[in-house]
């Protein structure tokens, strides 16, 4: 099936954004975690292994208290969110699969992380984030 | 006297699930039960009732050194943007519109999900729009159901709440080889005995 031109464009835009985003995000996470605050919306929400966090301040405080990390990313997929359900707001889903090793922990965890990104002031921001180990 | 540069080494405990409010929890628990009853029934056509006209679906297979040939067959269907070099394939593996998504789900092999393994995380709720993930285990059967293989999965949905159900817009499936702990715990609890209270599922969903 051929995709309609507008959907194709949205999809291409989503793919470009997702590819750039995942590199930035995990690089900052592992090396300069304090800079992640620029990627989250003020009102962002996150669930980390079932622990809910409300607002970028709470998220950053939580992430900052995690041990030093080393992420390896294995899979990346992106889906645009149809504008009809977001009141025209350009938004997309980024789905990441990878492995993470934290300092002080023997185990390497396989994980999936899902992000909802939305545009704010001409740049992509994380509106929601969900992280879960495979246990 | 030392410097205060010690970095944390303790990880926060993992919580089982997060459902947000009790209202959303009620809706999600019911939805998940019904959704996977249909998914495992052998006929996924009833999903036509609950997917949005502009619904989309794609899947990725998280390959690893321990992946079995059984799982590796999914490499060709995996929309892994880090691996795909052909833009046409990238488009082809993106299923768009209700008809195309439901047709694709219907073509996927027969499954049985271990609902006891499910962990649900509600990670976005804005107005009537919600997004949540499901992590767990299912059994994939060969087409004649003579053999099966355990698969670990992570599913993500973005949906509009339309009580008592949901209208699904984005649907993503990640699959991978189960860990040893997952294999050990899979289907450990006995299957529920048929309960006298009827389970409400969309009509026709239980036909063979």
Q: Is the pLDDT of residue B201 over 60?
A: no
- Identify the three-state secondary structure at position B103: helix
Give B196's pLDDT tier (boundaries 50, 70, 90): very low
Residue of B132, B130, B138, B134 lying closest to B154 (CA atoms): B134
Check CB contact of A80 with chain B, cutoff 8 Å. yes
Non-local (6+) Cβ contacts of B157 within 8 A are B131, B132, B133, B134, B166, B168, B170, B171
Q: Please give the helix or strand (H or E) that residue A7 lies within, else none.
A: helix A5-31
Using an 8 Å Cβ cutoff, are A80 and A7 in contact? yes
Q: Is the pLDDT of residue B203 over 90?
A: no
Gap between the Cα atoms of B118 and A64, Å rounded:
29
* pLDDT per residue as tens digits for the range A107-116: 999 999 999 9
- Residues in chain B with CB shorter than 8 Å from the CB of A85 are 52, 129, 158, 160, 169
Q: Is the pLDDT of residue B131 over 90?
A: yes
Q: Work out the angle at residue B164's Cα, subtended by the Cα atoms of residues B159 and B165, and round it to the nearest 5 degrees.
A: 30
Gap between the Cα atoms of B165 and B177, Å rounded:
31
Using an 8 Å Cβ cutoff, are A81 and A117 in contact? no
Q: Is the pLDDT of residue B192 over 60?
A: no
Check CB contact of B54 with chain A, cutoff 8 Å. yes
As a whole number, mean pLDDT of residues B195-200 equals: 46
Of A81, A93, A112, nearest to B174 by CB-CB distance is A112
**Gap from A28 CA to chain B (nearest CA, Å):** 17
Residue of A70, A74, A73, A109 lying closest to B62 (CA atoms): A74
CATH number where A19 lies: 3.10.450.50
Strand partners, B147: none
- Residues in chain B with CB shorter than 8 Å from the CB of A110 are 62, 64, 176, 179
Contact map slice: A 9-38 vs B, CB within 8 A: 11, 15, 18-19
Gap between the Cα atoms of A52 and A46, Å rounded:
6
* pLDDT per residue as tens digits for the range A55-85: 999 999 999 999 999 999 999 999 999 988 8
Using the beta-carbon criterion (under 8 Å), do A93 and B170 form an inter-chain contact? yes
Where in the sequence is the domain holding A96, given as residue range(s)?
5-133
CATH of domain B22-185: 3.10.450.50
Domain ranges of chain B: 22-185
pLDDT of residue A87: 84
For residue A3, the chain B residue with the least C-alpha distance is B96
Domain count, chain A: 1
Using the beta-carbon criterion (under 8 Å), do A11 and B182 form an inter-chain contact? no
Gap between the Cα atoms of B137 and B113, Å rounded:
6
Residue of B78, B110, B108 lying closest to B94 (CA atoms): B78
pLDDT of residue B32: 96
Q: Provide ipTM, 2 decimals.
A: 0.96
As a whole number, mean pLDDT of residues A1-25 equals: 92
């Amino acid at each position: 099936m051929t995709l309609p031109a507008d959907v194709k464009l949205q999809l291409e835009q989503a793919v470009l954004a997702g590819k750039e985003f995942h590199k930035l995000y995990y690089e900052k996470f592992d090396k300069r975690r304090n800079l992640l605050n620029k990627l989250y919306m003020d009102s962002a929400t996150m669930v980390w292994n079932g622990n809910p966090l409300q607002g970028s301040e709470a998220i950053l405080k939580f992430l900052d208290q995690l041990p030093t990390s080393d992420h390896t990313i294995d899979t990346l997929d992106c889906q645009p969110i149809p504008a009809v359900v977001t009141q025209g707001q350009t938004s997309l889903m980024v789905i990441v699969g990878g492995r993470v090793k934290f300092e002080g922990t023997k185990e390497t965890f396989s994980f999936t992380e899902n992000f909802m990104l939305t545009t704010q002031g001409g740049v992509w921001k994380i509106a929601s984030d969900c992280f879960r180990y495979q246990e | 006297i030392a410097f205060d540069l010690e970095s944390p080494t303790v990880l926060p405990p993992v919580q089982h699930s997060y459902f947000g409010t009790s209202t959303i929890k009620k809706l999600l628990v019911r939805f998940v039960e019904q959704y996977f009853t249909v998914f495992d029934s052998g006929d996924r056509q009833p999903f036509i009732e609950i997917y949005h006209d502009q619904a989309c679906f794609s899947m990725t297979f998280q390959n690893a050194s321990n992946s079995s040939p059984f799982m590796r067959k999914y490499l060709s269907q995996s929309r892994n943007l880090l691996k795909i070099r052909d833009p046409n394939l990238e488009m082809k593996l993106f299923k768009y519109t209700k008809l195309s998504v439901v047709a694709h789900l219907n073509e996927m092999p027969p499954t049985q999900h271990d609902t006891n393994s499910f962990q649900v995380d509600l990670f976005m709720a804005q107005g009537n729009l919600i997004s949540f993930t499901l992590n767990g285990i299912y059994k994939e059967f060969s087409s004649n159901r003579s053999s099966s293989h355990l698969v670990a999965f992570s599913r993500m949905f973005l949906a509009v709440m339309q009580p008592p159900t949901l209208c699904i817009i984005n649907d993503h499936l990640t699959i991978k080889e189960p860990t040893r702990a997952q294999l050990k715990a899979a289907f450990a609890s006995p299957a529920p005995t048929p309960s006298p209270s009827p389970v409400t599922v969309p009509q026709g969903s239980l036909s063979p």
